[in-house]
Amino acid sequence: MARLNLLEETRFEKLPVKVYKDELSASKKVAKRIAKIIKKRQEKGKKAVLGLATGATPVKVYEELIRLHKEEGLSFKNVITFNLDEYYPMQPDENQSYVKFMDENLFNHVDIPRENINIPDGTLAKEDIADFCLKYEEKITEVGGLDLQVLGIGRTGHIGFNEPGSAPNSGTRLVTLDDLTRRDASRDFGGKENVPTKAITMGIGTIFKAREIILMAWSKKKAPIIKKAVEGEISGSVPATYLQLNDHVEFILDEDAASELTRFDTPWLVKDCSWDKDQIKKAVIWLSNEVGKPILKLTDEDYNSHGMAQLATEKGPAYNINIDVFNQLQHTITGWPGGKPNADDTQRPERAEPAKKRSIIFSPHPDDDVISMGGTFIRLVDQGHDVHVAYQTSGNTAVWDTDVLRYVEFAIDFNRSIGEDTSKLEEIYDNFNKFITEKRPNDIDLREIMDVKGFIRKTEAIAGARYAGLVDDNIHFMALPFYETGKKVKSPVTEEDVKITMELLQKVKPHQIFAAGDFADPHGTHIVCFNIIIEAMKRLRETEEWTKDCWLWMYRGAWQEFDIHDIEMAVPLSPQEVARKREAIFKHQSQKDTPVFPGDDEREFWVRAEERNSETAMSYHNLGLANYEAIEAFVRWKF
């Protein structure tokens, strides 16, 4: 019976999928499977032949394999590896090289013979590539074929670098990279213009020959393409769908990557549900959008014809369900994000007391505060709350080199205008100019250049916070140490990061914390900063009484918005408030027009923010609520 239920739940899924709580637990399971293959082949006196992937996805798998080697004696002496791909052209000692990636993340830490490592050669002359690819295929065959191929998946649906349009029987070859793939790699190369346009990759046909195939994916960022790969029709426009044709493939996902699969996203379409309050709210909002009707106009027939007959039967009639969900949504809307004084707060998202609250807005980068919740920021100040803003990192990696030279030129001219000696500044300028001219993509800046970039972002943040109404004493620059590496890969969080955060919290003793819950940030800084806050609060809650009355609200920024059914506080903005928010964002001039790291969205940050806030307001309106100009949304974190 259990197996029948599982088959019913997964009936939209066209290949086997296993879902784990998080990336770490899933990675450990994959590493265990790899170790089992290695040991089995060792017992038979044979080689274990592994197809390996690069990128962020397999890193924790490799970490666990290293641990198994060092702590449990797993030997790699009988292992032969073939990597999926390599950029072309690419020197093996370049920071972006997959040779360097594999050495740093696995090979340098285990006892694999160097002659057993095979990675496509990015240094070849173009006329030699076809012959190399043929021999790469032949070598895989000569050693007995791949026992296991490990895959990630790109947002184009590529596996390896088999981009849309790749044939299901394709072999190892030179390919042209999709623009989205290059945009996703832009941070590794210091800008999309530095990302190679081509790569050498194993073909889909090569991958299919493996005796086992595991495709791994983590995070909500991968959820849309995972849904297409698992539930969509087989199509050359999504190469990963070809894996549906293979009998030896399995997808290993964390909960976030699996979140858009039907059995998790709309489970009422595949099984009887246990209808709690949150599930009902989500389902009714989904139904309203599906049929294009406001919530209060949904009928029993709508419920019955869209897989929700069970809900209507158990909790109906439909109109009663509609009223309840409508009221829940209406109660999220408030013009008083700090709580409305002298008002009944039983149906409001924030407490009425104390009437004047101490609030800290934590901003991972120096502009997340105004981009993400600039309207609410201004509203809190206007309504008389004691608002503080804390910029967690300097954001110094996201400033153009030309801005550094421009600001030093300004300093030289200013000093000259007041009769000061400029020889030292001119020497610094010449050193900066020489370094920048010779700098390669993703080289670490001189410390002095990093400082200037940090000063630029600091002055912009001060201007934005002042525009929102803050006094300087309430503007805090934390410069958390984990970030200050000067490179895209940041240091691990240390005790010092948590200590700095605890000290600020103890100083302010806030009633409200606003923190970035935008974990789709492609650079990872947001979730690191958020986890530091949570750890600091967790420790403080053991000894500090004020923490028991401190609420934490998560906001989201330039990368995504909360789903409507998750929103717990919706702050509407008037057209005038939208304009004020825009002006606050404009204070961040170094991020205007084309920022250094825009992600895969080519819109300017202020445009993204306005359109996202407008879309949230329209989503509320389409559900039958008032038609606001814009809405900023928040979800409360429960300690």
Write the pLDDT tens digit of every residue in 54-106: 999 999 999 999 999 999 999 999 999 999 999 999 999 998 999 999 999 99
Q: Is the pLDDT of residue 1 over 50?
A: no
Q: For residues 552-571, b (16+ Cβ closer than 10 Å) or e, as one string?
A: bbbbbbbbebbebbebbbbb
Q: Residue 113: what are its φ and ψ, rounded to 5°?
A: -65, 135
Query: Across-strand partners of 258?
Result: none
Q: Comparing 330-339, 589-598, 612-621, which segment has the lowest mean pLDDT?
A: 589-598
Place of tokens 């943040």: 461
Distance CA 84, CA 62 (A): 15
348-354-355-357 Cα dihedral, nearest 10 degrees: -100
Q: Which of 228, 260, 292 is the last residue of a domain?
A: 260
Residue 1 placed within a domain: no
Could you tell me the pLDDT band of residue 499, with boundaries at 50, 70 and 90?
very high
Write the pLDDT tens digit of every residue in 472-496: 999 999 999 999 876 666 788 999 9
For residue 283, give the amino acid letter.
A
Rounded CA Rg of the chain: 27
DSSP string, 97-122: -HHHHHHHHTGGGS---GGGEE---T
DSSP string, 567-601: -SEEEEE-HHHHHHHHHHHHT-GGGSSS-S--TT-
Residue 294 placed within a domain: yes
Residue 341 placed within a domain: no
Q: Is the pLDDT of residue 518 over 90?
A: no
Which CATH number characterizes residue 567's domain? 3.40.50.10320
- When pLDDT is averaged across residues 416-425 and rounded to a whole number, the result is 97
Same domain (yes/no): 279, 372: no
Q: How many CB atoms lie within 10 A of CB 113?
A: 11
Distance CA 354, CA 150 (A): 55
**HSE-CB for 535 with a 13 A CA cutoff:** 15
163 noted as active-site residue: yes
Same domain (yes/no): 161, 276: no
pLDDT of residue 489: 67
**10 contacts 267 by C-beta, under 8 angstroms:** no
Q: What is the mean pLDDT of the chain?
A: 94
pTM: 0.88
Distance CA 103, CA 138 (A): 24
**273 contacts 9 by C-beta, under 8 angstroms:** no
Q: For residues 253-278, b (16+ Cβ closer than 10 Å) or e, as one string?
A: bbbbbbbbbbbbebbbbbbebebeee
Structure tokens at 57: 């996805």
- When pLDDT is averaged across residues 112-126 and rounded to a whole number, the result is 97
Same domain (yes/no): 550, 572: yes
Distance CA 91, CA 121 (A): 8
Residue 605 placed within a domain: yes
What's the total number of domains in the chain?
A: 4
Same domain (yes/no): 23, 131: yes
Which CATH number characterizes residue 218's domain? 3.40.50.1360
Distance CA 95, CA 109 (A): 18
Same domain (yes/no): 170, 60: yes
Write the pLDDT tens digit of every residue in 240-275: 999 999 999 999 999 999 999 999 999 999 999 999
**101 contacts 61 by C-beta, under 8 angstroms:** no
How many residues does the structure list for the chain? 639
The alpha helices in 57-106, defined as continuous H runs, are 59-72, 98-105
Write the pLDDT tens digit of every residue in 555-570: 997 678 899 999 999 9
| DSSP helix, strand, coil percent of the chain (3-state; round to 5) | 50, 15, 40
Q: How many CB atoms lie within 10 A of CB 59?
A: 16
Q: Which of 23, 163, 350, 460 is catalytic?
A: 163
Q: Is the pLDDT of residue 347 over 90?
A: yes
Same domain (yes/no): 366, 431: no
Q: Comparing 91-95, 181-185, 204-208, 436-440, which segment has the lowest mean pLDDT?
A: 181-185
Same domain (yes/no): 274, 305: yes
Residue 628 placed within a domain: yes
Same domain (yes/no): 274, 390: no
Same domain (yes/no): 367, 405: no
For residue 201, give the amino acid letter.
T
pLDDT of residue 4: 45
Q: If DSSP codes are grouped into helix, strand and coil, which group holds residue 551?
A: strand
**136 contacts 143 by C-beta, under 8 angstroms:** no
**Quick one: which H or E segment has residue 223?**
helix 223-231
Same domain (yes/no): 323, 377: no
Same domain (yes/no): 313, 271: yes
Answer positive or negative: Cα dihedral of 316, 317, 320, 323. Answer: positive
- When pLDDT is averaged across residues 110-134 and rounded to a whole number, the result is 97
Q: Is the pLDDT of residue 7 over 70?
A: no
**Quick one: which H or E segment has residue 279?**
helix 277-291
Write the pLDDT tens digit of every residue in 297-329: 999 999 999 999 999 999 989 999 999 999 999
Can you list the pairs that 191-194 forms with residues at least 24 positions away whose Cβ atoms lie under 8 Å? 191/441, 191/596, 194/441
Q: Residue 636: what are its φ and ψ, rounded to 5°?
A: -85, 135
Q: Comparing 60-64, 162-166, 191-195, 327-331, which segment has the lowest mean pLDDT?
A: 191-195
Structure tokens at 600: 């895969």
Q: Which domain holds residue 134?
A: 19-260
